[in-house]
Structure 1
């Protein structure tokens, strides 16, 4: 990738979801498993279903997946029907549902990375969408990690 901004987007998405790389962290905790996937992997479906300040980690996870789906849709030139509130209605999940949520989040993340890899340049709309995906996902990473402390 020859575009420094696209390379930075990819680096920060990787850190948000997969955790910091070998060269340290730009903003997350500098130890392995500090990204969204490492944090979620340590949690059971029962833990993901515990209400902390009115929401659950399962809802945070599903909302993050939904946001990435919307971002991916826009990046593909689509205008999806949106129901932001639906993702927040998640209360408790069983083991299979929790595993599905994590897998679907991984799929949306992978789709976004592939889109970033396919780009040569950025217009303002795409830049805002990609930077928004980083900021929004990082916000929910922080929320989830704080919720974990409350379990």
Structure 2
């Protein structure tokens, strides 16, 4: 993979989680204000809000599902093959206390940082490129869902 393309993908992943770079001069696909990525959108969300059911799911479940997906991506990048995964179980979270909510957010941040670090050290090929791009699309999709859910839980 060319360095230019790798850096572009890395920038898009960063925008998904951190929002556009500061100072903000626009964004590629998130809102252009600071903290419009996943981490900023869920900042200040309480464990009670993260546990509120919105159309049968919770913010806690969405965030943990993204973490789980990123863990799978990171495993593929490390080992070159898909780990055994239980996608249904990744949605099992219905309520969290403050400690659980903090652990879910910390786990997501750790998987995100692991992903960013791997961009510079893996030997890129078609499988890994597809995995990283699908992880980007998956996370961006959930960013949109999370933004809508936050409107409900904050109402």
Please confirm whether the aligned pair reaches a TM-score higher than 0.5, indicating the same fold: yes
Within-5 A mapping of 1:1-151: 3-21=3-21, 22=23, 23-77=25-79, 78-119=81-122, 122-151=124-153
Most deviating of 48-57 and 71-80: 71-80
Q: Structure 1 stretches of 5 or more lacking a match?
A: none
TM-score of the superposition, structure 2-length normalised?
A: 0.92
TM-score of the superposition, structure 1-length normalised?
A: 0.94
The DSSP-based 3-state class of the residue aligned with 1:92 is: coil
CA RMSD, 1 decimal: 1.2
**How many aligned positions are there?**
149
Q: Structure 2 stretches of 5 or more lacking a match?
A: none
Distance 1:35 1:79 in 2: 27
Runs of 4+ in 1 over 6 A off after TM superposition: none
Most deviating of 22-31 and 59-68: 22-31
